[in-house]
Amino acid sequence: MMRRVSIIIILSLLATVHAVLFFLPTSLYETYFNIIRPVTYIIILIFAYLTLGRTLKIFSGKKTLVLAAVLGVIIYLAINFIVGMFMGFGHNSMSLAPLGIIKNFWAYIVIIIFRENIRSLIVTHVRDKYKRFILPVIVIVFTFMSLDSLRGVVAFDLYQQVDWFFVTLLPILAMNIWFTYAAMNGGLVGNLIFAIGYNALIYFSPILPDIPHILDAIVLYCIVFLMFIVYDSIEWMAQRQDGVKVEYKDRRRWGWTLVPAGFLTVCIMFGIGVFPIMPVAVASNSMSKEFSRGDLIYVEKTSPDELEVGNVVQYNKGNISIVHRIVDIREDSVLGRYFIFKGDENLLTDMYPVYDNQIVGRVVAKTPFLGFPALLFQGLKGTI
């Protein structure tokens, strides 16, 4: 009973520390990140040690978790380096002066060390019969702790919120599911390796690759999925080689492995247009002032009544999908309203009028170059 109360108190304190951000004046943010948050984490960690004791020793799978974490860091850094070679590098906005490095290390990396120790203490002291209830709460609380800019999300428009959901929330949630799962199997060291290695690029590298945020998110989803597969596969093979009789339900821990796969499924649903905003690969240069061939544009499903002259809109003409600009809106006495479109780089307007039932939506944003894979493999619907 005392152990459960301690875990609830610790999770409540962690959530409260980050809920303060909703009410904290912006002028106090630096003080919060550099002093208040680290000191509070130290106090919570001491309280966790005093009330729960040391992390329970778990011997099975530790080396495999370290291997998975090292592999994940190497893949992440390699992909960033390769993308940087093609898309260029930019200077890191973080201070890399000696004092700045020390401050970033204290405000971010040390926080990671405190956080993962607290997570391991909590997870290893949760009794089996309570895990199905407590572990999801732990994932949610630790995900919330990682969303420092959550207050600003409320003011986002629909596109920004959808973008934030895929680019920020889901990767953080996926990583916290992995960290919690790994901690449950004694993976504190592996968690520290992956968390510190992933963040070290952001806080200590003098240059950063110009990688699109959505691509970075997809890379993280895939790495988390890979770490699940590596751990489950190696541990399953080790059990078989030891001659231990493996029950059917223990052959693979697919219950956890399918969670990041679910995230990838959501990404696919996004790609095929299930959500209000959908991605479309650009197949020509008729709108090169706005976007070029190979770019990925984001189309918000829009009512024709909301469209105005000057909007860049996707519409269908038979089996062809076209993204051009509205240059005129007219009325027909028989067929009703219709739109006149023109590509910015075209000399003439589009040959045929476009009616309401042909309208797909309005273009709200783009990601350069990310549409090339879709054009090559025809995974998304290209436009002209």
Mean pLDDT of 229-234: 78
Domain co-membership, 127 together with 255: yes
* Mean pLDDT score across all residues of the chain: 81
Model pLDDT for residues 266-290, shown as the tens digit of each residue: 666 666 666 788 888 888 889 988 8
Q: Cβ distance 81 to 75 under 8 Å?
A: no
374 token code pair: 């879709």
Q: Cβ distance 296 to 281 under 8 Å?
A: yes
Cβ-proximal residues to 185 (8 Å cutoff; 6+ apart), any chain? 58, 60, 61, 62, 65, 231
CA dihedral 305, 308, 309, 315 (to 10 degrees): -60
Domain co-membership, 219 together with 85: yes
Domain co-membership, 325 together with 240: no
Domain co-membership, 314 together with 339: yes
Q: How far is residue 268's CA from residue 27's CA, in Å, rounded to a whole number? A: 40
Per-residue confidence (pLDDT) for residue 251, from 0 to 100: 46
Q: What is the CATH number of the domain that holds 350?
A: 2.10.109.10
Q: How far is residue 56's CA from residue 229's CA, in Å, rounded to a whole number? A: 25
Geometric angle at alpha carbon 281, from 308 and 357, rounded to 5°: 40
Model pLDDT for residues 113-165, shown as the tens digit of each residue: 999 999 998 988 888 777 888 888 999 999 988 887 777 777 777 667 777 88
Domain co-membership, 217 together with 69: yes
Phi, psi of 11 (to 5 degrees): -60, -40
Per-residue confidence (pLDDT) for residue 376, from 0 to 100: 59
Domain co-membership, 234 together with 308: no
Q: How far is residue 340's CA from residue 195's CA, in Å, rounded to a whole number? A: 52
Amino acid at 257: T
CA distance readout (Å), 28 to 19, 32, 51: 14, 6, 32
Residue that is last in its domain, among 247, 271, 295 = 271
Query: At residue 241, does pLDDT exceed 70?
Result: no
Domain co-membership, 128 together with 177: yes
Residue that is last in its domain, among 245, 271, 297 = 271
Domain co-membership, 230 together with 375: no
Residue that is last in its domain, among 217, 240, 271 = 271
Model pLDDT for residues 327-374, shown as the tens digit of each residue: 999 998 888 899 999 999 999 999 999 999 999 999 988 888 777 776
Q: Cβ distance 324 to 286 under 8 Å?
A: yes
Tally the C-alpha atoms within 13 A of residue 20's C-alpha that lie toward its C-beta: 14
- The CA-to-CA distance between both ends of the chain, in Å, stands at 65
Confidence of residue 249 (pLDDT cuts 50, 70, 90): very low
Total count of domains within the chain = 2
What percent of the chain lies above the pLDDT cut of 90?
Answer: 19
Domain co-membership, 243 together with 303: no
Domain co-membership, 219 together with 334: no
Phi, psi of 9 (to 5 degrees): -65, -45
Rounded (10°) angle between helices 110-124 and 2-19: 150
Residue 228: give the domain boundaries.
Answer: 2-271
Cβ-in-10-Å burial (0-12, 13-18, 19+) of 338 comes to middle
